[in-house]
């Protein structure tokens, strides 16, 4: 394992903040890591919920990394990443140890051309769209296929990051990070997946997201 | 309930990003809300893990809000909020519907003088410090006492925010938000609280955090 380990978070306009910040809070606490925040242009990046983050690096400044994480977005417009970003993902992926995504970030990995024949997951409401890029839709909290790890919707990035933290170090380090973040979830409702939530809510949300993500 | 509802996130140097962004991703998606990000000075705020967020408002610009959320920080230095911030919290609290904190954010509420005789929680490793401010340490995922809701360490803010979302609207809205964020946690380890994690990790982390938070 190279030391220090370089971990790069891709930011882009319209991304979902928690997709990146959940894993960020886990992975940035690993020992001997250099964490980088990169976007097409360095500077302010506005997320889908109005929060603004700063990317310290432009894509052209980062040509190699050990781990890359691509967050998802709240609609297809934000996902229509420019050719420069897709080319950057495809190129940097060649030499990563791990290429990862959260939520609809896997659709960007797909658009970048690196999911062909790869088992992958995404947000439950757009799972079928993975096949557009030749990926094998695999509903799960997160899915590992070779060096590619894709996580399900938004909050799944935290679970994926703990798994990745253990892979990059060892289980004790990952467990200690979990303890530090007091990640012992007790959701007040049991409505976090389409097989558990009231079906009327599932249908309404599926319809709403369908409108946001189709047609492209 | 006033419409639109104003929800204000306090940012400050050294804060823990996920303490704020977890609840932010829930509460900013509520219907008919205006979400505001405020710091002592408007502009860039560097979090404890190096990520930089933007606060669009200075404290002097926000004199009233329906909901305020105070995140925690990774060490006591960051928590030593300046008198202006503590006065702002104390003043704005007078007319909130809900005053909330995540992780060691409750120690800031305490320092602002609003937790005297109040049942409250915080990160497990610094629970005893709540008594410094006259609060009644109450270990729980989140604790409601009157209009004050305090959440446990970092990730507990997501659970608290879903509870608060239901209070501000109704359970169906909160359940739909949970479904949208696919918040159906499956941590790969069961190490998120001191009674579940390996005791050697609990002791090591307790010692490390003790050094960061004491003496003041």
Q: What is the pLDDT of residues B45-77, one digit of tens each?
A: 999 999 999 999 999 999 999 999 999 998 888
Q: Over 60: is that where the pLDDT of A216 sits?
A: no
| Distance from the A198 Cα atom to the nearest Cα atom in chain B, whole angstroms | 8
Interface contact flag, A193 B174, Cβ < 8 Å: no
pLDDT band at A215 (very low <50, low <70, confident <90, very high): low
pLDDT at A72: 97
Report the 10 Å Cβ neighbour count for B109.
27
Q: Over 80: is that where the pLDDT of A61 sits?
A: yes
DSSP label of A41: S
**Cα distances (Å, whole numbers) of residue B41 to A150, B7, B38, B117:** 38, 18, 8, 32
Interface contact flag, B185 A187, Cβ < 8 Å: yes
B171 → chain A, closest CA residue:
A189
What does the mean pLDDT of chain A come to? Answer: 95
User: Cα B171 to the chain's mean position, in Å?
Assistant: 22
pLDDT band at B140 (very low <50, low <70, confident <90, very high): very high
pLDDT at A78: 82
Selected from 3.40.50.880, 3.30.460.80, 3.40.50.2300, 3.40.50.300, the CATH number assigned to the domain covering B5-187 reads 3.40.50.880
Which residues are within 8 A (CB) of B213 and not within 5 positions of it... i.e. 6 or more apart? Answer: B75, B76, B79, B104, B125, B126, B129
Interface contact flag, A155 B187, Cβ < 8 Å: no
Instruction: State how far the Cα of A152 lies from the Cα of A101, in Å rounded to an integer.
Output: 9
Give the model confidence (pLDDT) of B40-50 as tens digits: 999 999 999 99
Q: What percent of chain A is predicted at pLDDT more than 70? A: 99
Question: Burial, A89: exposed, middle or buried (Cβ in 10 Å; 0-12, 13-18, 19+)?
Answer: buried
- Note which residues in 105-164 of chain B have CB less than 8 A from chain A: 123-124, 141, 152-156, 158-159, 162-163
Closest to B181 measured CA to CA, from A196, A25, A16, A126: A16
Average pLDDT over residues A118-132: 96
Taking the whole predicted model, whether its pTM rises above 0.95 is answered as yes
Interface contact flag, B192 A176, Cβ < 8 Å: no
Between β-strands A43-46 and A52-55, what pairing exists: parallel, antiparallel or unpaired? antiparallel
Average pLDDT over residues A138-163: 98
pLDDT band at B215 (very low <50, low <70, confident <90, very high): low
ipTM reported for the complex, 2 dp: 0.96
**Lowest model confidence (mean pLDDT) among A70-79, A131-140, B150-159:** A70-79
A203 → chain B, closest CA residue:
B176
> Would you kindly state where each structural domain of chain A is located, as residue ranges?
5-187
Q: Over 90: is that where the pLDDT of A201 sits?
A: yes
């Amino acid at each position: 394992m190279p030391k220090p380990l370089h971990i790069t978070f891709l930011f882009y306009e319209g991304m979902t903040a928690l997709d990146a910040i959940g894993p960020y809070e886990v992975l940035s606490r690993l020992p001997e890591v250099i964490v980088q925040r990169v976007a097409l242009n360095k500077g302010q990046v506005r997320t889908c919920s109005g929060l603004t983050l700063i990317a310290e690096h432009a894509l052209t400044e980062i040509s190699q990394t050990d781990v890359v994480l691509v967050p998802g977005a709240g609609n297809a417009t934000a996902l229509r990443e420019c050719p420069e970003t897709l080319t950057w993902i495809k190129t940097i992926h060649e030499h990563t140890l791990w290429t990862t995504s959260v939520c609809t970030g896997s659709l960007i990995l797909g658009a970048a051309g690196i999911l062909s024949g790869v088992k992958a997951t995404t947000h439950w409401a757009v799972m079928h769209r993975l096949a557009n890029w030749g990926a094998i839709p695999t509903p799960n909290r997160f899915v590992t296929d070779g060096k590619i790890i894709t996580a399900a919707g938004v909050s799944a990035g935290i679970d994926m990051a703990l798994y990745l933290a253990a892979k990059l170090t060892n289980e004790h380090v990952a467990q200690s990070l979990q303890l530090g973040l007091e990640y012992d979830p007790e959701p007040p409702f049991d409505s976090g997946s389409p097989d558990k939530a009231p079906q009327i809510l599932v249908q309404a949300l599926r319809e709403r997201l369908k409108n946001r993500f189709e047609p492209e």
